[in-house]
Amino acid sequence: MTNKTDNIYAAAIDKQSFSFDGQVAEVFPDMIQRSVPGYDQILKNTAKFAERFVTANSHCYDLGCSLGASSLAMSAGIGVNGVKIIGVDNSEAMLARCHHHIDAFKHRTQIELQCGDILACEIENASMVVLNFTLQFIAQPDRAQLLKKIYQGMNPGAVLLLSEKICFENEQDNALMIDLHHQFKRENGYSELEISQKRSLLENVLVPDTLVQHTDRLAAAGFSRSHCWLQQYNFVSIFAIK
């Protein structure tokens, strides 16, 4: 993937809110690497989950696929035939770049890209579904229905990988995790201005839930069990089994 440095917020900007536009798509690999603790581990393990869960002649979904990093990770782990990975994103700028990334990297499994809303896309015959840092951008009242739809489109024994930024009920703990996350960003070269501008732009756009809200919602959708398998500060990855 290209690694153009993210300096979108280095100078004062007059944008009202964050969106996955062309400017973000251009620097996205650098932005997500330097902003999301554990992102590399999540991608590496996406391949390992795919190796264990993806079954022959089934579908895999990468919902909110951005530049296709999770699709390519799934593909790297899949060792069975007849699988199709379907990547869905509603940002045209992201999908245009995603096509180039997918073409540029070797992958054994067919990858189909769909431009559209994940709330409207069809899920069927799925042995693995990935929602890496996407549910947090879906309006909170729509999240339960989306998970139900995903559950219904999954085969018995299939896995959902859900990675999210979370919040904590206890205000002190929440502030500590936010502070440690900001320190992580500073250590990755972001300035105070960049951190604070991005934070205000994401407010009301990225709305985190608590870990308990996530696990309760997964149980309500029908998942037989779910576990947080990775946590770094206020970033988690959960696997849930149908």
Three-state DSSP state, 40: helix
Report how far residue 145's alpha carbon sits from residue 153's, in angstroms, rounded to the nearest whole number: 13
Within 103-132, which residues bind ligand SAM (CB under 6 A)? 117-119, 132
Q: How many residues bind ligand SAM (CB under 6 A)?
A: 20
Q: Which of 6, 9, 18, 20 binds ligand SAM (CB under 6 A)?
A: 20
Rounded least distance, CB 171 to ligand SAM, Å: 26
Rounded least distance, CB 170 to ligand SAM, Å: 26
Q: Which of 66, 75, 127, 197 binds ligand SAM (CB under 6 A)?
A: 66
Nearer to ligand SAM, 6 or 89 (CB): 89
Q: Which of 86, 88, 128, 158 binds ligand SAM (CB under 6 A)?
A: 88
What secondary structure does DSSP assign to 51-65, as a single string? HHH--TT-EEEEET-
Report how far residue 87's alpha carbon sits from residue 172's, in angstroms, rounded to the nearest whole number: 38
CA 25 → CA 31, 92, 93, 145, distances in Å?
9, 10, 6, 28
Residue 236 interacting with ligand SAM (CB under 6 A): no
Segment lying near ligand SAM (by CB under 6 A), choices 2-10, 63-71, 77-85, 208-216: 63-71
Rounded least distance, CB 209 to ligand SAM, Å: 15
Residue 69 interacting with ligand SAM (CB under 6 A): yes
Report how far residue 21's alpha carbon sits from residue 40's, in angstroms, rounded to the nearest whole number: 23
Residues that bind ligand SAM (CB under 6 A): 20, 32, 64-66, 69-70, 88-91, 94, 117-119, 132-134, 137-138
